[in-house]
Amino acid sequence: MSGLMQGKAVLVTGAARGQGRGHVLRMAAEGADVIAVDVCAALPGVAYASAERTDLDETVALAQETGRRIVPVVADIRDLPTLRSEVDRAVKTLGRLDAVVANAGICIPCAWDEVTEEVFRDTMDVNVRGTWNTVMVTAPHLVEAGGGAIVLMSSSAGLKVQPFMIPYTTSKFAVRGMAKAFAAELARFNIRVNSVHPTGVDTTMGGRPMLAQVAKASMADPRLRGMLVNMLPVPGISAEDVADAVLFLVSDASRHITAHALAVDAGVSEF
């Protein structure tokens, strides 16, 4: 490893497993201390199993093997007051905050006429309001540090229409716009804000239960299935692939990049 994040502190949400764990391990391996945030409780409406405290503990233990300080935080990103108090406590423990990866999110695929009010509300609450909450409680610490970087995890569904995922697509387009808007207003504090847009990732969220939901929903209009096919001949990508892109955006290697939407999507958004 090259020590790109040596001496810095990074906060990652959805850190217990999957992409979040990938970000925590990559940041720690590059020399960063990490605040690892996860709700560690049942997620609303999803087909896949939710992360538990033991998952977060495993992430922390793996990251600590690098010798870095890892501060676990159990908090719901939908709960702004609690998230703020827990993040403030964790930042005080590490002494500073330099970068944020707002990774937590959910996906509930279904055909348009099977989307319930609850599914739409829950998706927007986690993916949009939770992401906004994350920026609101962390940005003041970056201002205090004299600058930093924020990455909002969107999706290829935030660049290109994804059928059978109307709430998810809506939320991820919103996250893309949110990143650009925050980038504009936080630029004067030397804070860069970008969004990352992966294709399907080999995690619990992207596993068989999710694929079964997509397959079931696609029966409503099989013509649209081709919209979900990657341009490159790969079924999906790894959490490590995404972590590499995020590392670039939070490191000084991208010091002049802001308000950018980075596609790590095997070409699906162009195909």
* Residues with catalytic function: 168
Give the Cβ contact number of residue 182 at 10 Å. 24
Are residues 39 and 75 in contact, defined by beta-carbon separation less than 8 angstroms?
Answer: yes
Alpha-carbon torsion angle 135, 161, 236, 211, nearest 10: 100
Q: How far apart are CA 105 and CA 172, in angstroms?
A: 10
Are residues 258 and 194 in contact, defined by beta-carbon separation less than 8 angstroms?
Answer: yes
Residue 80: what residue type?
A: L
Helices 166-186 and 117-124: crossing angle, nearest 10°?
30
Q: How far apart are CA 69 and CA 235, in angstroms?
A: 35
What 3-state class would DSSP assign to 257? coil
Are residues 151 and 194 in contact, defined by beta-carbon separation less than 8 angstroms?
Answer: yes
Q: How far apart are CA 131 and CA 258, in angstroms?
A: 18
List Cβ neighbours of 6 (8 Å cut-off, separation of 6 or more): 30, 31, 32
